[in-house]
Amino acid sequence: MANREYDYLFKLVIIGNSGVGKSALLLRFADDTFSENYITTIGVDFRFKTLKVDNKGLKLQIWDTAGQERFRTITNAYYKGADAIVIVYDTTCQQSFDDIEKFWLNEIESYAEKNAELLLLGNKSDLNTKQVQSERVQEYAQKRNMMFFETSAKTADGVEEAFKKIAIKLMAKRDQQVQDKKDRRKQQKQTSLQTKNSSYENNSYVDNKQEDRQQNVNLWQKKGDEKAKESQQCQC
């Protein structure tokens, strides 16, 4: 760890319908830039982001996947090994939110790790033409055990906060996994020691019984020798 610039490395994958602003969110968070020119992601793109959280070095490997169906066979492979899945919808497009339940969750269940964390982002919150109500999404996120934030890649509102919050959750989860592993090793060591001590006590008991039996044999042999000597003495 001392020779690296980070203490934690996590893989994040961004998914969602085409046009919801996945690439814009990634560029805002990773490079703090925004472009009005919309360019469709072809296949996948990725960025690294290194930051400090609670005095710990954190490196995020963030993959931006194409939302178009023709790229699905390519993008599905990138779910594997992801610590968190970032699901993005457009707050001004109801269908982009509805498709989360209709399609994207099935993708996650099919290709993502079973214990991957979920982060739900409602992008384009700076626009006044909102169609998806925040209260409804909040209830949905709680039901699905997702973290939820409304964001704007254009104004940067909520972007850094959202990624930092999921990073903090991943750090705590990783720390707990490490601690659980240490506890299991400690328990296994204690169990092994107890088994060894029990085996030692049992062997000592057996050795003591064998020693007692040997002493009895020696005693009987001694008595037999004494009787034999008495029988050999002259009786005249």
Q: Report how far residue 212's alpha carbon sits from residue 218's, in angstroms, rounded to the nearest whole number.
A: 10
Q: Of 15, 30, 24, whose CA–CA distance to 85 is shortest? A: 15
- CA trace torsion 132, 133, 139, 143 (10° rounding): 0
Res. 35 pLDDT band, cuts 50 70 90: confident
Phi, psi of 179 (to 5 degrees): -65, -40
The whole-chain average pLDDT of the chain stands at 84
Q: Is the pLDDT of residue 137 over 70?
A: yes
Starting at the edge strand found earlier in the chain, the sheet holding 44-53 runs 44-53, 56-65, 8-15, 84-90, 117-123, 147-150
Question: What does the DSSP 8-state code read for residue 66?
Answer: P
Name the 3-class secondary structure at 128: coil
Res. 90 pLDDT band, cuts 50 70 90: very high
Amino acid at position 193, single letter: L
Q: Report how far residue 96's alpha carbon sits from residue 19's, in angstroms, rounded to the nearest whole number.
A: 9
If one compares 194 and 225, the residue with the highest pLDDT of the two is 194
Phi, psi of 14 (to 5 degrees): -100, 125
Q: Of all helices (H) and strands (E), which one includes residue 50? A: strand 44-53
| pLDDT score of 209 | 60
| pLDDT score of 105 | 96
Res. 236 pLDDT band, cuts 50 70 90: very low
Residues 156, 100, 86, 178: is their CA dihedral positive or negative?
A: positive
DSSP letter string, 132-172: S-HHHHHHHHHHTT-EEEE--TTT-TTHHHHHHHHHHHHHH
Domains contained in the chain, CATH given: 8-176 (3.40.50.300)
Lowest mean pLDDT among 6-10, 37-41, 172-176, 195-199: 37-41
CB atoms within 10 A of CB 25: 27
